[in-house]
Structure 1
Amino acid sequence: MELLTSLACCALVMTGLWLWQIRSKRADWVDAAWAVLIGLQAIGFAVVGDGAVEKKLLGALLAVTWSSRLAAHLIQRLSGHEGEDGRYQTMREHFGAKANPFFFLFFMVQALVAWLFALPAWVVVNDPSAAVDVWLIAGVAVWFISLAGESLADRQLVAFKADPASKGKVCRVGLWRYSRHPNYFFEWLHWFSYPLVAVGAPNQWVAWLGPVVMLIFLYRVSGIPYTERQSLKSRGEAYREYQRTTSPFIPWPPRN
């Protein structure tokens, strides 16, 4: 029952946000709302879950820390924009008069995806085992590495964009030298922490939805395709050269 209630709440929130974007032309706030919804659902699942207290706390911790960090970063970035983020401008331009119907479908998909991404936390908080084993330690280690990597990538990009000398250039600083989207890579890596922590738990297979669905979205839906289209539009040949020499996702030494 809590799963259906959670899904309905996600759809309601996204419907309200879609109505607001019709007037504001700021569909980009769906990213922050998506991140917040995952953390809130994890808290709700932990409150009503039937798992061991230790797993309830751990499941909520994994999801809420990731959700809070990402939401805070997105809110800060979006608040500094006078207009809509370029990725969503590209979508709006592409669909033209059909933009609002498209965004309604997009927002409903985001509601569904926010619900799907909360399910790994649901698996963890309903795990009756309080045992500390090698899988739990590995899951926490993956969570820590991914959170640190994504935070570092975001800070490096923010610092690069804040430098007036960087205008029109491509960020090749730090992690961005080895991947065109290191923030996306570490975001994807984060979702492996749940199936590792949930090894042996009831419905463990559900926890694998996180990394699988996230990879599909980053590579085929709302992540890399629209981001790179906007980067090519704004940086032209400099970004094409970046594409030729730098790994699109997994950090790897650049090609000559």
Structure 2
Amino acid sequence: MSVPVFLILLIAVAVCLSLVMIVAWRIERRTGNAGWVDVCWTFGVGLVGAVAALAALSQGSLVRILLVAGLILLWSLRLGLHLVSRTKGIKDDPRYARMKQEWGSDAAMGMFKLLQSQALVSIPLVLSVALAAWSPVTVFRPQDALALAVGLVAIVGEGLSDRQLRAFRATSGNEGRFCDIGLWRWSRHPNYFFEWFGWLAYALFAIDFTGGHPFGSYPWGWLALSGAACMYWLLNHVSGIPPLEQHMLEKYGERFRAYCRRTSAFFPLPPSSSHSRS
């Protein structure tokens, strides 16, 4: 991939993501339910990523390109439909509702700026997909099989996490409780962990260790790591765990603090035996 091609791809991705989030902003303003923001973002990232991958059809391995495009579309469809189901059942997303309340009369502009910032930080995600597809390596490597396995495990794991949470909430007698069974016993946010894990697949597709260059025959491929790095930062430090756990602490108090003490926040780990269950 030449520098001009990369710059054109970068600009196209940025413009498309910005337009997606403008649509999300309009829907949020009309419905008052910011949950639709995540729906638009998920379908938007999936669609833009797939188009960016398929744009490489004349450049690289057809098998790898189709696998990359198919993987991002499968992720988008699974997560997007889950979010549609969840969003239809709520009046507003509590994470965004808190921010809108704090912004007051400036909520419309505050949401617009927030969603455009989300478009900006989503660029590395879509670029990691594009860079995976644009790899000039023509053979299908064991590394590519591993990348596909990582992507599928992530989609299945995130889907299982969401299903366990949905089943827990639908079970009689669990009203007023938070889910701490199944995968949620090993991580407070297993769905977030698998979401992050899936973006490692594109780095595995993109990186090539062959060739005389210190970074292999495709140095651009190493930039695909930015997708997983960006997702980890967003989930752990920005829009994922911090606002959600603040909401959970306000709702459940000491019971949730006890859960936090015995359960890993992100990476699935055996629960601590030094703290009893609440």
What is the match of residue 215 of structure 1? 232
What is the match of residue 112 of structure 1? 120
**Higher Cα Rg, which structure:** 2
2:17 to 10, 15, 22: 10
- Say whether residues 1:59 and 2:76 are aligned partners: no
After the TM superposition, list the runs of 4 or more consecutive aligned residues in structure 1 that deviate by more than 4 angstroms.
none
Contact between 2:133 and 2:206, CA under 8 Å: does it hold in 1? no
CA shift at 1:2, angstroms?
A: 4.0
- Single out whichever of 27-36 and 151-160 deviates more from structure 2: 27-36
- The whole-number CA distance in structure 2 between the counterparts of 1:53 and 1:132 is 10
Contact between 2:64 and 2:140, CA under 8 Å: does it hold in 1? no
2:40 to 26, 33, 39: 33
Structure 1 residues 139 and 127 mapped into 2: Cα distance closer, same or farther (>3 Å)? same
- Say whether residues 1:229 and 2:236 are aligned partners: no
- The whole-number CA distance in structure 1 between the counterparts of 2:248 and 2:100 is 16
Contact between 1:170 and 1:238, CA under 8 Å: does it hold in 2? no
Contact between 1:127 and 1:202, CA under 8 Å: does it hold in 2? no
Report which structure shows greater RCO (CA 8 Å, sep ≥6).
1
- The whole-number CA distance in structure 1 between the counterparts of 2:204 and 2:53 is 18
- The whole-number CA distance in structure 2 between the counterparts of 1:247 and 1:94 is 30
Q: Which has the higher helix share?
A: 1
Look up the equivalent residue of 1:57 and give its one-letter code.
L
The answer for unaligned runs of 5 or more in structure 2 is: 1-7, 209-217
For the aligned residue pairs, the C-alpha RMSD in angstroms reads 1.6
CA shift at 1:106, angstroms?
A: 1.1
Identity of aligned residues (%): 38
TM-score, structure 1 as length reference? 0.93
What is the match of residue 156 of structure 2? 148
- The whole-number CA distance in structure 2 between the counterparts of 1:221 and 1:99 is 19
Q: Secondary structure at the match of 2:173?
A: helix
What does 1:77-92 align with in structure 2 at a 5 Å threshold?
77-81=86-90, 83-92=91-100
- The whole-number CA distance in structure 2 between the counterparts of 1:16 and 1:27 is 12
CA shift at 1:102, angstroms?
A: 2.2
Residue-by-residue CA offset, 1:52-94 (whole Å, 9 max, x unaligned)? 211210110121111111111111110122x002222222233
What is the match of residue 94 of structure 1? 102
- Say whether residues 1:187 and 2:204 are aligned partners: no
Contact between 2:61 and 2:139, CA under 8 Å: does it hold in 1? no
CA shift at 1:96, angstroms?
A: 3.1
1:204 to 221, 237, 244: 221
- The whole-number CA distance in structure 2 between the counterparts of 1:71 and 1:115 is 19
TM-score, structure 2 as length reference? 0.86
The answer for unaligned runs of 5 or more in structure 1 is: none
- The whole-number CA distance in structure 1 between the counterparts of 2:104 and 2:250 is 18
What is the match of residue 247 of structure 1? 264
Structure 1 residues 227 and 187 mapped into 2: Cα distance closer, same or farther (>3 Å)? same
CA shift at 1:180, angstroms?
A: 0.4
- The whole-number CA distance in structure 2 between the counterparts of 1:232 and 1:162 is 22
Q: Secondary structure at the match of 1:128?
A: coil
Question: How many residues are treated as equivalent by the alignment?
Answer: 255
Residue-by-residue CA offset, 1:119-172 (whole Å, 9 max, x unaligned)? 111012212223222211221121122111111100000111112311111211
